[in-house]
Structure 1
């Protein structure tokens, strides 16, 4: 895969750049006659001040960053820079040298207004020390622009081929892919041994930085010999630049594109995460808004960077893994699971649920502002009843449910290959005492039980916890890097499915919580997240977020599918604007069908059980078959019976009653 992506580009760059960068090219593109190659009798030229032996480094192209299907997030392309190529002058008077160089700069400005304006000292010093090499006067130009300039070149003006990093999908997955930056400007004094032919780059953010060593290639060397008259006598290249390796992400580019489009359509600011429950691979990690990575190529201006940094929508901020929010009611399944697991409640235990419960002077209201009477765990999850979870949270104890939350990944970073990932917050007795100067109270536990107060998490953590509940027995270790290949396409690093934590929860407790989450979508607070072709388990969430004076809300919908044999876990976040009234059911839940319906057939195929290895061809019987058709023979009658699926195990699409599609508001 890697060689297929790199070899044509590498071959073109070696051919173009080695000749264009080291040999003066006439205006018509032809190389001047290099003259006779120096022999032993020409040794006297090395005693002449204008003769030179120059050894240059030919930089290698960086390896690509690609998605799981081989589509490039980051790659290289040929670019061109305008340059002044000095000749060897008989008259080396400073004024004459500057005038000659300045004239070429003005000629270039006539057809390209963005030519860099060098100082007189730069023009003269380059001639004194570096006249054998090009003097760059522009940023890299794309091939189309450069081709339009080629016919306008005059003597002493050239287009020099260079490598340029390129992000074909622009802002897609920008916070994960990252960008490169220049290692440093080219030298301006005397030519150094093995200095690069053009500016080198290095990773500055994201995968570009994390995997910089793997992406960097091996340079080649170019040796040049010039005589007193500035004529090249010898050009000798040692080896070829070897491209860097490829980094293969677990992201699915098609899914990532769709997720970012859904965020564009349903929110001004938000995030979406999708995880493969079986492997722990992150398929989608989307944050809105993002930024065009090509702004950093070859370098971003201070004005452009300040504009991004000061944008109130914070496009540089990766909400999916840097945004820390109260998980709100998406946290409630953990309370229910902890209480069921330690026997505090069972499936039939009922709790009286008034319109509100009081803790000191604080009233914790149900979102509907009305009493619900006696509720058991499944309808409590379905209707997201705050008084039920506040009371049960205090019965089971904050230490118990926060411990389970930590086993589900809350309070720590995921371990993914990310820069700047936030760990969120799971409070401890020590933290409460240090922060508030008191022990944990019932009010604290009640508030945390509905995902508010000091409980804070990223969308990535919420999706990860859903993957743990979907798995049932363990929290899968997450992966964002699938493999690293070397320049020959050989896999040198790979990620394998692993367990991060045992959850230590009872299977029956998991079943009950899943059923409650299924009913959230089947007529509960998250009905607008329903899919016609499979059952979704999920949980809405509506929380207060940010400074109190802003009155800012956040809406969640998180869960997994299909309900029976979960394969995909997800979290959708809608970040409300100051003063905006939001709800998980109205703002976040609709993102689920908007995303997953686009991949209906693909997901149905993904979640189908793998066919069992039951069938063996009986070669003799196949040959004797009068129809000439190969017949598959079952290995054993017992296995053949197992092959028949139980009708109860087949996910059913539930009919949707239009009268049930009324808006359901869920409060904090």
Structure 2
């Protein structure tokens, strides 16, 4: 009697096929677990250093693996090194990694709009029972774990040869060795998505003899399933059909029967070993930051079905999931890597006699994003605390890098690994707050008064107004039989464009829009990138900017004065995304270019060699008159910093410029939105931002009340000494609280006239508070005003 050389015994525990040990060595040798610095929670990546001289069946002692104490990141375009990680996340893949991820229960129905795997809320054994009942006689019931306790083990087999590959001559098969999936990193190397080791309980069949019966094969499997269930208190099982077919056709590959085991379950099975029972390690996707950036990263799913039938050439040793949303989907080809190939020769009886590695698997590339994890986490925390539903985007005005892009509420992509339960999926899909929906780039909203910055620049550039021209800001404006009122229902005298932006006077914009026309506004909006996809590597919505041509094609007439008036305050059919709004403010802030937002810096291998980079791209030059630009910039500055501005809640030690907005979103439900968009510092801006807040039905909202404080809180938390000095250095600021130059340098060639001419302005706290007494609303000289108090900035 001879023992098949293709089986290697793990002492006292199980049998691991040598061909899979070899595959594991190709993938796992040299993989390192790294330590995470305090405050970061993420496992590290894989580095293939070579093939071990001899395969072993014993798992690697993870505690003995050398770990990196620190891995500093280099600024782009230099390679980014993944930051160290700890044992809470990914660990080195053991050498006996076999993988059979597709054995997990899954739903065949199409999950979500993005195609995630959804685990049906039915016991796995029920579905397998139904499958077998359709194909077997009534007395051939599925093998249930509890049915096997009283059955005796099979007699000792006579190893004459395998019944699966019995041939008159030797056969050679080529197996595909899956490659580890690459990581997704933030700009400083902190991991956002990577792989970790997981284990399944599996049966490793020995050769049971040439005449072994189906019941004997089933008893062998059942005893091991019962053993595991008794130890762990589980009820896993397999059908007769699956057990017998696997043994007859694929017995060299361990047959998994559990779901992912917890670490305590793994330890318990290691203590209570049984021959023919093995722990099958695989690597699963892991999102170490949890919900953070979930709408951008996406997730993986859609595992291939369980392989059946005899082993065929080029068959993968185990299945891997694919990206179905976010960056996981967009960079699937880069992240997936290149599988290796190995030839295995079997004798006529199925005994493996020779193997040759044709090529090693090449791990997937790492995708380095532009995201700053610190910024992202602050944004998400503030949205969760202050914004029930909404989004926040921060963008570098110099190069278009997206530093943070948050939507609230979120979801945890780890729920989709290895498969989301039906209950969890239904809860997410049916949640009225839509946690699966990326509001930052896939939701379009009326821009409300933030659009006035675009409109004002269009008015100035078209020549219909100059920075010094005064127009009235009455309490109402009449077009036909319709009376359109100012937001505070008060008249505020005459003002120039700076004053109109500062006070956000609706009636001023109604009047000028009726003179300048719709195309003046739509042209500038289009130049600033509104109403069109930004070009990020994610599915995004376009939004919409109306024009006379569109109106004529759709309605048969040009836009009326009333429709132009509504458009001028960012209402009606005007729709933009928060990302587009941040991009627009970046263009106004840098004053030169409309940049394509950049979400990914570079693709690099695990040795930190660059595969390709993504350079800064300019969509178009702004090419506006400097005096027009300065007038708009001054207006945005005064919104935040003047005593009567509507966005004073964003006042901070670094000067902020921006525009608030409050708009009707779902009028039938009396549901409104509020905006705050702008940039900082006001001089030589470094970052632009956009925040949106979705109000509840009937809720009174305003940019000054809900969204400007979010930006102020962000600056308060983010601008510690190190970050403040970094921003200040980039902006070339000479003083910590340097004010802007005099008004004439921002508005016109000649000294600008007084912003307000006829009548005393009504100081207000927010854009939607219609009544405020002068005593209550006028800022105290020692306090700096309501929003200044929030942001703790004082003039010296």
Give TM-score, length-normalised by structure 2. 0.71
Relative to structure 1, the CA distance from residue 47 to residue 263 in structure 2 (aligned partners, 3 Å threshold; closer, same or farther) is closer
Partner of 1:17, secondary structure, is coil
CA distance in 2 between partners of 1:145 and 1:186 (Å): 24
Specify the alignment match of 1:535 in structure 2: 655
Specify the alignment match of 2:783 in structure 1: 658
Deviation of the 1:603 alpha carbon: 4.3
Deviations 1:531-567 (A, max 9, x none): 1x21110110000102x32111101000001111111
1:192 counterpart = 2:231: no
Partner of 1:392, secondary structure, is helix
1:16 counterpart = 2:141: no
RMSD over equivalenced CA pairs, Å: 3.1
Aligned ranges 1:187-336 → 2 under 5 Å:
187-224=307-344, 237-336=357-456
Question: More displaced, 278-287 or 333-342?
Answer: 333-342
CA distance in 1 between partners of 2:177 and 2:468 (Å): 73
Whether the 8 Å contact between 2:393 and 2:402 is mirrored in structure 1 is: yes
CA distance in 1 between partners of 2:578 and 2:782 (Å): 31
Whether the 8 Å contact between 1:78 and 1:142 is mirrored in structure 2 is: no
Whether the 8 Å contact between 2:99 and 2:319 is mirrored in structure 1 is: no
Specify the alignment match of 1:621 in structure 2: none
1:57 counterpart = 2:179: no
Specify the alignment match of 1:427 in structure 2: 546
Corresponding residue to 2:702 among 583, 603, 609:
583
Deviation of the 1:477 alpha carbon: 2.0
Aligned ranges 1:240-639 → 2 under 5 Å:
240-419=360-539, 421-522=540-641, 523=643, 524-531=645-652, 533-546=653-666, 548-600=667-719, 601-608=721-728
Deviations 1:43-94 (A, max 9, x none): xx98669997654322110110000000011011111111112222235212
Structure that is richer in helix per residue: 1
CA distance in 1 between partners of 2:167 and 2:361 (Å): 32
Whether the 8 Å contact between 1:321 and 1:460 is mirrored in structure 2 is: yes
Specify the alignment match of 2:288 in structure 1: 168
Partner of 2:95, secondary structure, is helix
Deviation of the 1:407 alpha carbon: 0.6
- In structure 2, the gaps of 5 or more residues are 1-30, 35-43, 51-59, 61-91, 101-160, 742-778, 790-796
CA distance in 1 between partners of 2:536 and 2:638 (Å): 32
CA distance in 2 between partners of 1:454 and 1:447 (Å): 9
CA distance in 2 between partners of 1:425 and 1:261 (Å): 30
Question: More displaced, 340-349 or 173-182?
Answer: 340-349
- In structure 1, the gaps of 5 or more residues are 22-41, 613-644
Deviation of the 1:225 alpha carbon: 5.7
Partner of 2:581, secondary structure, is helix
Deviation of the 1:606 alpha carbon: 3.3
Whether the 8 Å contact between 2:646 and 2:660 is mirrored in structure 1 is: yes
Partner of 1:364, secondary structure, is strand
Relative to structure 1, the CA distance from residue 152 to residue 361 in structure 2 (aligned partners, 3 Å threshold; closer, same or farther) is farther
Whether the 8 Å contact between 1:534 and 1:651 is mirrored in structure 2 is: no
Deviations 1:446-498 (A, max 9, x none): 00100000111110111110011101122122110101113432212212223
Deviation of the 1:185 alpha carbon: 1.8
Whether the 8 Å contact between 1:389 and 1:450 is mirrored in structure 2 is: yes
Relative to structure 1, the CA distance from residue 245 to residue 662 in structure 2 (aligned partners, 3 Å threshold; closer, same or farther) is closer
Relative to structure 1, the CA distance from residue 353 to residue 7 in structure 2 (aligned partners, 3 Å threshold; closer, same or farther) is closer
Partner of 1:325, secondary structure, is coil
Deviation of the 1:329 alpha carbon: 0.4
Relative to structure 1, the CA distance from residue 489 to residue 332 in structure 2 (aligned partners, 3 Å threshold; closer, same or farther) is same
Deviation of the 1:218 alpha carbon: 2.1
Whether the 8 Å contact between 2:695 and 2:701 is mirrored in structure 1 is: yes
Relative to structure 1, the CA distance from residue 449 to residue 230 in structure 2 (aligned partners, 3 Å threshold; closer, same or farther) is same
CA distance in 1 between partners of 2:524 and 2:530 (Å): 9
CA distance in 1 between partners of 2:169 and 2:474 (Å): 94
Corresponding residue to 1:103 among 203, 223, 233:
223
CA distance in 2 between partners of 1:151 and 1:182 (Å): 34
Partner of 2:228, secondary structure, is helix
CA distance in 1 between partners of 2:96 and 2:461 (Å): 66
Deviation of the 1:662 alpha carbon: 7.4
Deviation of the 1:380 alpha carbon: 1.2
CA distance in 1 between partners of 2:378 and 2:735 (Å): 33
Specify the alignment match of 2:45 in structure 1: 6
CA distance in 2 between partners of 1:656 and 1:205 (Å): 52
Question: More displaced, 81-90 or 506-515?
Answer: 81-90
Relative to structure 1, the CA distance from residue 649 to residue 457 in structure 2 (aligned partners, 3 Å threshold; closer, same or farther) is same
Whether the 8 Å contact between 2:397 and 2:589 is mirrored in structure 1 is: yes
Question: More displaced, 243-252 or 175-184?
Answer: 175-184
CA distance in 1 between partners of 2:98 and 2:294 (Å): 35
Deviation of the 1:171 alpha carbon: 1.3
Relative to structure 1, the CA distance from residue 377 to residue 237 in structure 2 (aligned partners, 3 Å threshold; closer, same or farther) is same
Partner of 1:590, secondary structure, is helix
Whether the 8 Å contact between 1:130 and 1:189 is mirrored in structure 2 is: yes
Question: More displaced, 572-581 or 651-660?
Answer: 651-660
Deviation of the 1:142 alpha carbon: 5.1
Specify the alignment match of 2:142 in structure 1: none
Whether the 8 Å contact between 2:393 and 2:582 is mirrored in structure 1 is: yes
Deviations 1:299-326 (A, max 9, x none): 2233322221111110111000011110
CA distance in 1 between partners of 2:724 and 2:310 (Å): 65
Relative to structure 1, the CA distance from residue 14 to residue 590 in structure 2 (aligned partners, 3 Å threshold; closer, same or farther) is closer
Give TM-score, length-normalised by structure 1. 0.84
Relative to structure 1, the CA distance from residue 581 to residue 647 in structure 2 (aligned partners, 3 Å threshold; closer, same or farther) is closer
Relative to structure 1, the CA distance from residue 602 to residue 331 in structure 2 (aligned partners, 3 Å threshold; closer, same or farther) is farther
Specify the alignment match of 1:80 in structure 2: 199
Deviation of the 1:118 alpha carbon: 1.9
Deviation of the 1:134 alpha carbon: 0.6
CA distance in 1 between partners of 2:662 and 2:170 (Å): 75
CA distance in 1 between partners of 2:344 and 2:232 (Å): 31
Whether the 8 Å contact between 1:249 and 1:483 is mirrored in structure 2 is: yes
CA distance in 2 between partners of 1:564 and 1:122 (Å): 70
Question: More displaced, 452-461 or 391-400?
Answer: 391-400
Partner of 1:588, secondary structure, is helix
Relative to structure 1, the CA distance from residue 471 to residue 109 in structure 2 (aligned partners, 3 Å threshold; closer, same or farther) is same
Q: How many residue pairs are counted as aligned between the two chains?
A: 606
Partner of 2:194, secondary structure, is strand
